[in-house]
Amino acid sequence: MTALRPIIYLLLILLLSPCVTASMGQEYVVVVNKDSQIDTVSVKDLRRMFLGKSKKWPDGSAVMLVLNPNDAAHSEFTRTMLHKSPKQLSLFWRKNLYSGRSMMPYSAENPDDMSIYLDKHKNAISYQTKDDLSELLKPVRITK
List pLDDT tens digits, range 42-92: 999 999 999 999 999 988 999 999 998 888 899 999 999 999 999 999 999
d(CA 15, CA 87): 31
**Position 80: which residue type?**
T
Using pLDDT thresholds of 50, 70 and 90, give the confidence band for residue 20.
very low
Determine whether 121 is exposed, middle or buried from the number of CB atoms within 10 Å of its CB (0-12, 13-18, 19+): middle
pLDDT of residue 108: 93
* CA distance from start to end of the chain: 47
The number of C-alpha atoms within 13 Å of 109 and in the hemisphere containing its C-beta is 3
Asked if 123 contacts 62 with a C-beta cutoff of 8 angstroms, the reply is: yes
pLDDT at 1: 57
Beta-bridged to residue 41, according to DSSP, are: 142
Q: What is the pLDDT of residues 105-137, one digit of tens each?
A: 999 999 899 999 999 999 999 999 888 888 889
CA-nearest of 132, 116, 130, 52 to 84 is 52
Position 133 scores a pLDDT of 85
Indicate whether 99 pLDDT > 90: no
| Half-sphere exposure of residue 134: CA atoms within 13 angstroms, side-chain side | 19
Closest CA to 128 of 32, 21, 36, 47: 32
pTM, 2 dp: 0.78
